[in-house]
């Protein structure tokens, strides 16, 4: 299974010009994995898409506390994001959108709701470009 720790390393490197820092979630339940000047990013990873296109893409490790944190921060004007890797595909979601649908809808709806979809790992520049405010 692709590891979120590998994603965290990549995201922190991509966002280094934005003073990115990995976050240990022991302080605040639900706090995202990476914070940077301009926002936060929650990271989730799955090994593959469901076999049937109509099957919801379950993300069991996307907790209610994480969903709640993304919604609360977004409601107060904060920039929150969720970066989901499924196999080789990377999808970037606005945090409020992610809190509402990620883990609950099939692949086609995830792709449609994503801020951007990369069919393979994005370049550091491409990721940073999407997250810069």
Domain count, the chain: 1
Asked whether residue 1 carries a pLDDT value surpassing 50, the answer given is no
- Tokens representing 44 are 């989730």
Q: What is the pLDDT of residue 43?
A: 97
- Does pTM surpass 0.85? yes
pLDDT, tens digit, for every residue of 33-43? 999 999 999 99
Which residues span the domain enclosing 108? 4-131
CATH of the domain at 71: 3.40.1350.10
């Amino acid at each position: 299974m692709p590891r979120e720790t590998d994603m965290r390393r990549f995201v922190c490197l991509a966002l280094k010009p934005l003073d990115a820092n990995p976050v240990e979630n022991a302080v605040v339940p639900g706090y995202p994995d990476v914070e940077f000047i301009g926002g936060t990013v929650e990271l989730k990873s799955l090994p593959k898409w469901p076999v049937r296109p109509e099957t919801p893409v379950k993300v069991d490790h996307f907790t209610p506390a994480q969903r709640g944190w993304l919604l609360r921060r977004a409601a107060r004007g904060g920039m929150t994001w969720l970066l989901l890797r499924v196999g080789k595909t990377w999808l970037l979601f606005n945090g409020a959108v992610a809190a509402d649908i990620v883990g609950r809808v099939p692949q086609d709806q995830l792709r449609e709701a994503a801020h951007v979809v990369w069919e393979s790992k994005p370049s550091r520049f491409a990721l940073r470009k999407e997250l810069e405010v």
